[in-house]
Amino acid sequence: MFGRSDILHYVSEKYKTVPEKLWPKKYPTFEILRHNHNKKWYALFGQVDAKYLGLEKGKKIDILNVKASPDFIEFLLAQPGFYPAYHMNKKNWITVVLDESVEPEKIFQLIDASYNITV
């Protein structure tokens, strides 16, 4: 099953990024990915109650937030697996549910785009 570990392997190999846990006690499932040179975030992992995305309350889901252009976000929101950004600026960030509804290659492309936007 494709998930966080696959993405972390990808960013480690391609960008030499190491995930950071900024809130280990309060939010132990949250990790950020940021540029090594400018420290800007380009992705955020977490596990949240699905209710925060308008889905089934009480069900925990793994998510990935990435930055994208507002027009592209609008396009993505019409597709399965994409939601307005959880706990981020909804104009410039989007949430991807890591439940296999989005193909891995598409997730890698979104990570690459987010990385390039935040350079």
Average pLDDT on 15-20 reads 97
Architecture category of domain 4-117 in CATH: Alpha-Beta Complex (3.90)
Residue 1 has what pLDDT? 82
Pairing of strands 41-49, 82-84: unpaired
Q: In this predicted structure, what is the pLDDT of residue 86? A: 93
Alpha helix stretches (DSSP H) within the chain: 4-15, 70-76, 104-117
Read off the pTM.
0.94
Domain boundaries, the chain: 4-117
